[in-house]
Amino acid sequence: MAKKTNKAMSNKDVSRLWGTAFSKDPKEEVVAFCSGRDTASLPSADDQLLPFEITASKAYVHGLYEKKLIDAEVFDKLLSGLGTLLKLYQEGKFKVDEKYEDVHSAVESWLTQTYGIDIAGRIHTGRSRNEQIAVDMLLYMQEKCDLLISQIKELEKELTQKSIQYEAVLLPGYTHHQHATVTTFGAILSAFAFECKKDYELFEFWKTFALISPLGSAAGYGTTLPIDKYAINAHLGFKKVFANPTQAITFKDDAATLFVFAISMLMNHLSTLAQTLMLFSTKEFGFITLSDEYTTGSSIMPQKKNPDPLEVTKAKAAVCQGYLVSLLSLSKATFIGYNRDSQWGKYLVMDAVRESLQAPVIMAGIIKTLTIHNHKMMTQLKSGFIFSQAIMEGLIKDYSLPMRVAKIAVETAVKESNPTDGITCKILNSALSKIGKEISVNPEIFQIWIDPLKIVKLQNKK
């Protein structure tokens, strides 16, 4: 029996070296999010681009046919072949791997093997790989952009719901990691919800700014063939086409750089939320408890439940910034026209996408499942000088003192007060007298000033 138990424990527990102290297992997506590519293998960059290469090629084939550069037979076979190749790819029966130079040669090679060069050899008419990779990356980024927007909106929704739920849960507001004034947990979550809105609006802007079809620009200087960029784009579906073929190719990395900038901004905001939640979840704060589903354990310390998804979010924010700087460097001081070094830009974009995808989903799950401890939050309001700003503003509002005089009065009261008890009305009146202001603050008015619910209502007026 003992051997059976040990075997069961080995299979279930030792493979991850932690977890038996948990009431719920961490979610699989959390484990994957935290593991990164420690154990997961990655597909080749161009293998990921094949569906987009086919989409762009179909649009281009339509353009060739409409300008009578290919006949109906070639048109039908090329479209049929592209559709078949996409189906094979989706079924896992075709891969862009090391036997091909790139995704463009992979598609043309397969079409040539299937239909012969007299048919397949016409698909590249008037076309360059320069414009192909530019449009493939735009289509790739468009898809990932829409996915990120959807995820961010879900996170915004979760933050907004919780901000309403916790709009009366009081806790300290912080500046410089020190108690500043009173706020609510709902107000903090609401701040992050507003940042989410700005994040997805930035991605929406990216689509209007960057989705400009480069098809028809050839190698960057156009073609003498009657290629109609507008007709091609009608089948591709972008709202804009290039105005200048050289600009379309030379500055193609602008779209990638702005896209990764938007990712970096998103990850920065998630990183700030992560750090806030991590500190709030420590025993020193004790404001919240993270769900077992969104924590991990230690390989040596049986009691540990670590906020790994939050720490990993911070790491992902850092590496995304690195990708952004690398993109800026790649596109700096390039000679006019296409340059092969720009190819490394697609790796940076894909790395940024890989690191950021699922980050809003994981954060939404953390927010949805966390437990708050109102009493711990409230305890922090019962000592110290957290109502100092409100007292100062009460003197300004109700006793017409100049702001600087009111501040000096409260500073004097802070010096004379015990941090455990905070400022009392009696000490405040004494401080006013010491600075030459013969004002006697009414104790009832003073109590209104330091009512935390009244403070937050005034501070967060709509």
Residues annotated as catalytic (active site), given as ranges: 176, 298
Which amino acid type is present at position 372? I
Q: Which residues contact 102 (CB under 8 A, 6 or more apart)?
A: 46, 96, 129, 133
Whether the CB-CB separation of 158 and 248 falls below 8 Å is answered with no
Q: 212-213 and 240-241 as β-strands: parallel, antiparallel, unpaired?
A: parallel
Q: Which residues contact 426 (CB under 8 A, 6 or more apart)?
A: none
Separation of alpha carbons 411 and 431, rounded Å: 9
Token couple for 372: 């708050």
Q: 170-175 and 178-184 as β-strands: parallel, antiparallel, unpaired?
A: antiparallel
CA 9 to chain centre: 38
How many CB atoms are located within 10 Å of the residue 177 CB? 7
- DSSP secondary structure of 198-265: HHHHHHHHHHHHH-EE-TT-TTTT--SS---HHHHHHHH--SEE-S-HHHHHHTTHHHHHHHHHHHHH
131: three-class secondary structure by DSSP: helix
Closest CA to 195 of 286, 140, 276, 257: 276
344-356 vs 253-281: helix crossing angle, rounded to 10 = 30
Contacts 24+ apart (CB under 8 A), 174-179: 179/380, 179/384, 179/385, 179/386
Token couple for 270: 């998630």
Separation of alpha carbons 254 and 327, rounded Å: 9
Q: Which helix (H) or strand (E) holds 355?
A: helix 344-356
Helix and strand counts by DSSP (H, E) for the chain: 20, 6
269: three-class secondary structure by DSSP: helix
Whether the CB-CB separation of 141 and 112 falls below 8 Å is answered with no
Rounded to a whole number of angstroms, the distance between the first and last alpha carbons of the chain is: 66
Separation of alpha carbons 449 and 390, rounded Å: 6
